[in-house]
Amino acid sequence: MKYLYGVDVGGTSVKLGLFSIEGELIDKFEIKTNTENNGQTILTDIANSLKEHMKEKQVNKSNIYGVGIGVPGPVTNGVVNGCVNLGWGIVNVKDGLENLLDLKVAVSNDANIAGLGEMWKGGGSGYQNLVFITLGTGVGGAVVVDHQVIDGHTGTGGEIGHAPSLNSPFKCNCGKIGCLETITSATGVVRLAKKLLTEKETPSLLRYEDEISAKTVFDAAKKNDSIAKETIEIFGQNLGFVCATMGVITNPQVFVFGGGVSRAGQIILDVVIKYFKQYAFYSIKDTTEFKLATLENEAGIYGAAYLAKNLGEV
Amino acid sequence: MKYLYGVDVGGTSVKLGLFSIEGELIDKFEIKTNTENNGQTILTDIANSLKEHMKEKQVNKSNIYGVGIGVPGPVTNGVVNGCVNLGWGIVNVKDGLENLLDLKVAVSNDANIAGLGEMWKGGGSGYQNLVFITLGTGVGGAVVVDHQVIDGHTGTGGEIGHAPSLNSPFKCNCGKIGCLETITSATGVVRLAKKLLTEKETPSLLRYEDEISAKTVFDAAKKNDSIAKETIEIFGQNLGFVCATMGVITNPQVFVFGGGVSRAGQIILDVVIKYFKQYAFYSIKDTTEFKLATLENEAGIYGAAYLAKNLGEV
């Protein structure tokens, strides 16, 4: 039997999974991300943890197809160009981990592997051209064409959160005004709702919340709260607008939405589809599908394993 | 010596070129596009013309690598799904021409082959990730990743003219309001200038023109005419805006501008770069290049020949 390892490196923990070559998750485990001293032990920690796991599960190295790994930063040719959350500058993850493990390693960024995971075994399963959009604290994504993630020449492919929005007045963490994520991330939805609450005197359930979250906004919208509904409309308008642009750039079969905000469910799809249809070219208006992600926190290890699968025979 | 044929089918004429495998244009010729009877003789006309040319130039069929052909309509797997300008419905161009010629044939749409031509031997030469934008009567384009055009699942990849613009109030021929080409095509530039001339009382050189064209608008802008300059700013704002979105989708190394409007030259690049920098994510702001196309009307045959080059050994 041939195996794959999928590794998803986050700022607080590293998720790891052992997979069959067909993509069945056999075992998963987690280690702490040690960001001390600019995260210089992270790769060694991962390598040691994998070695231990192989021993424990009696997985022979010769049966491992490869190791896929996702990191929270822009990757080109196995090299990551800075990961603020890990304390990393430029790190050659591929060479580093290959030397430590004596196994083939494939590297991509965290949003890209989540997209590949959803394509392989999640909401985008069965599609080869898709766009995965993760609506979390920020907004990220992966543009997949013929089963391959498009990294782009500076590793900025799929950085959908920093597409210019139609009408966001907010300043983004990146320094630019109006990035899509300033309105469509979890924090963006809250920011927008608060702005509307300040500007308007309309009664709203949200005025009684101690702390407004994206979830409370979507919940209030489901209860027909007008401020919450207006927030969701602006959210959907901007997301649908950018999806309509992507529809004439890479023309995906399906958009798959993941991340915390997507837990609001069908309401997300409904409002995005509404505005997508308004902004989209006729040839894609009714042929493009919209789905929710299904793998949640495991999307990354699935996608990392998928990367490993494409490394070729050991 | 191995040869390629590149064929670019337009609504009034078909351009054909014989190329060396390295991309040297050896001979070019042209035939009329016969659109009578739903253009049913077009493929036969092309096949006959190629056969005659081979005889005339004493090119042995066994020395021809393949024939590439571009058609003005959406193509998937060698089949074009309607070409209004040719009178075509669904036509299997690949099978049709292969049967007529007994040669390998590769098919793509006209904007895509122009993009490949510019990548191979034109303004995008030396780049493997680029976006080609043709600013003509309409606005089309090609999104190229790793030397491959992205067609998308309905052949709508690169239909950049129908990306939603930031602020166009105009209705597009496609039926949608606000498509990028309603402002940035040759007709779009004129439409926009006329709107500003009507709305404002500012003196303008354009008020003395019998007929305003995109060229007269750009010429007037170069002479510091305020209405013309405002037109060009809105043109550049919308084009720069959509380029900034593409910058985080496929993250090209270079944007190459062709088509009649691009003959205005450096002024196009200057205004697009100005707004691109305003809307673009920091990681692409200074690393993305902007160039003018150089092959003009020959881009299509070059790109079609490039398609043929990738058909593999005969």
Same domain, B112 and B21: yes
Q: Across the interface, do A248 and B175 touch by the CB < 8 Å criterion?
A: no
Is A46 contained in some domain? yes
A23: left (phi over 0), alpha (psi -120 to 50) or beta: left
Q: Across the interface, do A281 and B74 touch by the CB < 8 Å criterion?
A: no
Q: Across the interface, do A155 and B284 touch by the CB < 8 Å criterion?
A: no
| Residues with Cβ within 8 Å of residue A147, at least 6 apart in sequence | A119, A128
Contact B80, B97 (CB under 8 A): no
Work out how many CB contacts closer than 8 A connect A with B.
Answer: 137
Same domain, B173 and B278: yes
Same domain, A161 and A112: no
User: Which residue among A145, A162, A283 sits closest to B156, beta carbon to beta carbon?
Assistant: A283
Q: Which residue has the tokens 């098919």?
A: B107
Domain coverage including residue B48: 3-117+298-309
pLDDT over threshold 80, residue A143:
yes
* Tens-digit pLDDT profile for residues A72-86: 988 888 999 888 889
| Distance separating the N- and C-terminal Cα atoms of chain B | 13
Contact B32, B9 (CB under 8 A): no
Over range A45-68, report the average pLDDT.
96
Please tell me which residue of chain A has the smallest CA distance to B241: A164
Q: Across the interface, do A249 and B158 touch by the CB < 8 Å criterion?
A: yes
Q: Across the interface, do B129 and A153 touch by the CB < 8 Å criterion?
A: yes
Is A314 contained in some domain? no
Same domain, B32 and B89: yes
Q: Does B287 touch chain A (CB under 8 A)?
A: yes
d(CA A281, CA A55): 55
Q: Does A173 touch chain B (CB under 8 A)?
A: no
Is B314 contained in some domain? no
User: Quick one: tokens of B110?
Assistant: 């006209």
Q: Does A44 touch chain B (CB under 8 A)?
A: no
Q: Does A284 touch chain B (CB under 8 A)?
A: yes
Q: Across the interface, do A250 and B251 touch by the CB < 8 Å criterion?
A: no
pLDDT in tens, chain B (314 residues): 899 999 999 999 999 999 999 999 999 999 999 999 999 999 999 999 999 999 999 999 999 999 999 999 888 889 998 888 899 999 999 999 999 999 999 999 899 999 999 999 999 999 999 999 999 989 999 999 999 999 899 889 999 999 999 999 999 989 999 999 999 999 999 999 999 999 999 999 999 999 999 999 999 999 999 999 999 999 999 999 999 999 999 999 999 999 999 999 999 999 999 999 999 999 999 999 999 999 999 999 999 999 999 886 43
Q: How far is CA B31 from the centre of its chain?
A: 20
Same domain, A101 and A140: no
User: Which helix (H) or strand (E) covers residue B164, if one does?
Assistant: none
Residue burial B3-21, b: 16+ Cβ < 10 Å; e: rest: bbbbbbbbeeebbbbbbee
CATH code assigned at B96: 3.30.420.40
Is B168 contained in some domain? yes
Same domain, A41 and A111: yes
| Residues with Cβ within 8 Å of residue A25, at least 6 apart in sequence | A17, A18, A19, A298, A301, A302
Q: Does A249 touch chain B (CB under 8 A)?
A: yes
pLDDT at B82: 86
Please give the C-alpha separations between residue B96 and each of A18, A32, B5, B48, in angstroms, as whole numbers.
Answer: 49, 61, 16, 13
Same domain, A153 and A43: no
Angle (CA) B141-B260-A281 rounded to 5° is 35
- For residues A182 and A76, the model is more confident at A182
d(CA A180, CA A159): 10
Q: Across the interface, do B251 and A152 touch by the CB < 8 Å criterion?
A: yes
Q: Does B244 touch chain A (CB under 8 A)?
A: yes
Same domain, A131 and A98: no
Is B155 contained in some domain? yes
Q: How many domains does chain B have?
A: 2
Q: For chain A, give the mean pLDDT.
A: 95
d(CA B38, CA B263): 34
pLDDT at B230: 98
pLDDT over threshold 50, residue A313:
no
Band the pLDDT of A311: cuts 50, 70, 90.
Answer: confident
Strands A289-292 and A254-258: parallel
pLDDT at B103: 97
Please tell me which residue of chain A has the smallest CA distance to B161: A248
What percent of chain A is predicted at pLDDT more than 70? 99
Residues found in chain B: 314
pLDDT over threshold 80, residue A314:
no
Please tell me which residue of chain B has the smallest CA distance to A82: B283
* Tens-digit pLDDT profile for residues A12-28: 999 999 999 999 999 99
Report the range of poorest mean pLDDT among A151-155, A189-193, A195-199, B124-128: A151-155
Closest CA to B145 of A76, A141, A153, A129: A153
Contact B142, B246 (CB under 8 A): no
Please state the pTM of the whole predicted model. 0.93
Same domain, A91 and A157: no
d(CA B50, CA B7): 10
Task: Quickly count: other Cβ atoms within 10 Å of residue B231's Cβ.
Answer: 30
Is B173 contained in some domain? yes
Q: Across the interface, do A150 and B250 touch by the CB < 8 Å criterion?
A: yes
Q: How far is CA B174 from the centre of its chain?
A: 18
Q: Does B247 touch chain A (CB under 8 A)?
A: yes
pLDDT at B313: 44
Same domain, A147 and A261: yes
d(CA A64, CA B237): 51
Closest CA to B226 of A228, A225, B234, B157: B234
Same domain, B38 and B104: yes
Distance from CA of B129 to the nearest CA of A (A): 7
Same domain, A112 and A143: no
Over range A287-312, report the average pLDDT.
94
Give ipTM to 2 decimals: 0.92
Q: Across the interface, do A279 and B154 touch by the CB < 8 Å criterion?
A: no
